[in-house]
Amino acid sequence: FDKIIAKEIPSTIVYEDDKVLAFKDISPQAPVHVLVIPKFRDGLTQLGKAEQRHGEILGQLLYAARIVAEKEGILDGFRVVINNGPSACQSVYHLHLHVLGGRQMKWPPG
Protein backbone atom coordinates (compact mmCIF):
# COMPACT_ATOMS: atom_id res chain seq x y z
CA PHE A 1 0.00 0.00 0.00
CA ASP A 2 2.94 2.34 0.57
CA LYS A 3 3.62 2.34 -3.19
CA ILE A 4 -0.03 3.16 -3.90
CA ILE A 5 0.15 6.07 -1.43
CA ALA A 6 3.36 7.26 -3.11
CA LYS A 7 1.63 6.92 -6.53
CA GLU A 8 4.33 4.47 -7.67
CA ILE A 9 1.64 1.87 -8.41
CA PRO A 10 -1.44 3.10 -10.26
CA SER A 11 -4.83 2.85 -8.59
CA THR A 12 -8.31 4.20 -9.12
CA ILE A 13 -8.60 6.74 -6.32
CA VAL A 14 -12.09 7.36 -5.02
CA TYR A 15 -11.21 9.73 -2.16
CA GLU A 16 -8.08 11.29 -0.72
CA ASP A 17 -7.25 13.82 1.96
CA ASP A 18 -4.13 14.52 3.99
CA LYS A 19 -4.69 11.50 6.30
CA VAL A 20 -6.46 8.77 4.28
CA LEU A 21 -6.57 7.31 0.79
CA ALA A 22 -9.45 5.31 -0.70
CA PHE A 23 -9.08 3.34 -3.92
CA LYS A 24 -10.88 0.57 -5.79
CA ASP A 25 -9.90 -2.98 -4.91
CA ILE A 26 -8.16 -4.82 -7.77
CA SER A 27 -10.08 -8.01 -6.91
CA PRO A 28 -13.59 -6.75 -6.08
CA GLN A 29 -15.93 -8.94 -4.05
CA ALA A 30 -18.98 -6.73 -4.76
CA PRO A 31 -19.96 -4.25 -7.48
CA VAL A 32 -18.50 -1.55 -5.23
CA HIS A 33 -15.34 -2.57 -3.35
CA VAL A 34 -13.12 0.24 -2.14
CA LEU A 35 -10.21 0.05 0.30
CA VAL A 36 -9.68 2.89 2.77
CA ILE A 37 -6.21 3.17 4.32
CA PRO A 38 -4.33 5.56 6.56
CA LYS A 39 -1.51 7.33 4.72
CA PHE A 40 0.73 7.06 7.78
CA ARG A 41 0.74 3.58 9.27
CA ASP A 42 2.12 4.59 12.70
CA GLY A 43 2.15 0.96 13.86
CA LEU A 44 -1.37 0.23 12.57
CA THR A 45 -0.61 -2.95 10.70
CA GLN A 46 -3.93 -4.40 11.88
CA LEU A 47 -6.83 -3.34 14.09
CA GLY A 48 -5.62 -5.64 16.86
CA LYS A 49 -2.54 -3.42 17.21
CA ALA A 50 -4.55 -0.20 17.69
CA GLU A 51 -3.77 1.91 20.72
CA GLN A 52 -5.62 4.82 22.29
CA ARG A 53 -3.36 7.22 20.40
CA HIS A 54 -4.81 5.87 17.12
CA GLY A 55 -8.36 6.96 17.99
CA GLU A 56 -8.37 9.99 15.72
CA ILE A 57 -7.18 8.16 12.60
CA LEU A 58 -9.59 5.28 13.25
CA GLY A 59 -12.44 7.79 13.30
CA GLN A 60 -11.15 9.44 10.12
CA LEU A 61 -11.05 6.05 8.38
CA LEU A 62 -14.71 5.42 9.25
CA TYR A 63 -15.73 8.90 8.16
CA ALA A 64 -13.85 8.38 4.87
CA ALA A 65 -15.81 5.12 4.42
CA ARG A 66 -19.01 7.15 4.65
CA ILE A 67 -17.71 9.63 2.06
CA VAL A 68 -16.78 6.74 -0.25
CA ALA A 69 -20.25 5.23 0.13
CA GLU A 70 -21.81 8.54 -0.84
CA LYS A 71 -19.49 9.04 -3.83
CA GLU A 72 -20.17 5.49 -5.03
CA GLY A 73 -23.96 5.82 -4.66
CA ILE A 74 -24.36 3.18 -1.96
CA LEU A 75 -25.03 5.37 1.08
CA ASP A 76 -28.40 3.64 1.60
CA GLY A 77 -26.72 0.25 2.12
CA PHE A 78 -23.08 -0.71 2.47
CA ARG A 79 -20.78 -2.81 4.62
CA VAL A 80 -17.44 -1.94 6.19
CA VAL A 81 -15.12 -4.89 6.86
CA ILE A 82 -11.77 -5.01 8.64
CA ASN A 83 -9.88 -8.30 8.50
CA ASN A 84 -7.56 -8.74 11.49
CA GLY A 85 -4.81 -11.34 11.31
CA PRO A 86 -4.33 -14.57 9.40
CA SER A 87 -7.46 -16.30 10.79
CA ALA A 88 -9.53 -13.46 9.31
CA CYS A 89 -7.69 -13.68 5.95
CA GLN A 90 -5.79 -10.41 6.34
CA SER A 91 -3.28 -10.45 3.49
CA VAL A 92 -1.77 -6.94 3.66
CA TYR A 93 -0.42 -5.77 7.00
CA HIS A 94 -1.33 -2.11 6.67
CA LEU A 95 -4.70 -1.47 8.37
CA HIS A 96 -7.41 -1.11 5.74
CA LEU A 97 -11.18 -0.97 5.60
CA HIS A 98 -13.17 -2.66 2.86
CA VAL A 99 -16.23 -0.66 1.79
CA LEU A 100 -18.57 -3.07 0.01
CA GLY A 101 -21.92 -2.47 -1.65
CA GLY A 102 -23.94 -2.33 -4.82
CA ARG A 103 -25.68 -5.64 -4.12
CA GLN A 104 -27.67 -7.25 -1.33
CA MET A 105 -25.32 -8.27 1.47
CA LYS A 106 -25.85 -11.64 3.17
CA TRP A 107 -25.79 -12.52 6.87
CA PRO A 108 -23.87 -14.09 8.42
CA PRO A 109 -20.96 -12.74 6.37
CA GLY A 110 -18.31 -15.34 7.22
In a domain, 108, yes or no: no
* 46 close to 93: Cβ distance less than 8 angstroms: yes
Quick one: pLDDT band at residue 2, thresholds 50, 70, 90?
confident
| pTM score | 0.94
In a domain, 106, yes or no: no
10-21: pLDDT as tens digits: 999 999 999 999
> Is position 96 annotated as part of the catalytic site?
yes
Q: Is 84 helix (H, G, I), strand (E, B) or coil?
A: coil
22-40: pLDDT as tens digits: 999 999 999 999 999 999 9
| Count of the separate structural domains present in the chain | 1
In a domain, 109, yes or no: no
Q: Output the CA torsion 109→25→34→94 (10° steps).
A: 90
54, 94, 96, 98: the catalytic one is 96
Residues in Cβ contact with 82 at an 8 Å cutoff, skipping those fewer than 6 apart: 47, 95, 96, 97, 98
Report the CATH number that the domain containing residue 52 is assigned in CATH. 3.30.428.10
φ, ψ (nearest 5 deg) of residue 22? -125, 130
Range of the domain at 17: 1-101
